[in-house]
Structure 1
Amino acid sequence: MGTDRAEPRELIAALLAEGAQVVPGPPALPVPPGAAEHVIAVARRLALHGLPSGRWRPVSSPGLLGLAAAMVVDEHPSAPDWSARERERFTTWVAVLIEHRGEDGVQDLVRALNEERDAA
């Protein structure tokens, strides 16, 4: 593994080790509230679209799972109402998005959820 990949992993590890500070106010992720199954389905669709050919199952490092949980899942306005299993499934798909598409994957997820809200 080259240094290009080691530095972000080290940063993520350091952020996770410090823990996240809880800041009062609205969630930072600008998406509408939504049912877990729907949000998971959107994330899954986008993640599968970005998987390299031949890879049929999402597997991400624990660091990416922690990052996905802290920066995306915990910021979703409906996440506190979801079950632990639903949050875990959403975290898995978000981690795959981050792994293969980085910030672009997260932005695509935010865009897709907002577009569906606007179309309704």
Structure 2
Amino acid sequence: MANSPVQHAVVLSTSIDLTNEDSDSDGEGYCGYLSELSGGDSDYAWEDEEEDLPGGSNPINLASLTSLAPSINFQVRAPPPLKRQKLDVPACEARVKAKEATVLKQQEAWVAIQKLITSKKDLFESGRNGLQEY
């Protein structure tokens, strides 16, 4: 089998060059992992400390590691506000109150119309054209 997946994986892994040959060998401007940088010499102080300790156990001090590693300023935006927020008045209650307000306005309008109709008086007088409404 000439096209086995294992052979393709080997070809791909050997053909990818992870180093940036245009940049300096100290890794400045490189945004990958520190272990991907070429060169056996360690340019970082925390790599030298690991070799100096006897017994092979190295207590890791995270504060010193972050200060010695090259810093990259990533600008991270604040997360958007939550889509579901707790309201002062629940939506169901707000809908019920709005419906009650609408019904109240309609009732007041109905009463006003009824008052207007009852206040009108029809006066009929005789005129040139017969009975006329005044």
Higher helix residue share:
1
Bin the TM-score by the shorter chain: under 0.3
Higher relative contact order (CA 8 A, sep 6+): 1
> TM-score scaled by structure 1?
0.20
Structure of higher CA gyration radius: 2
Higher strand residue share:
2
> TM-score scaled by structure 2?
0.18
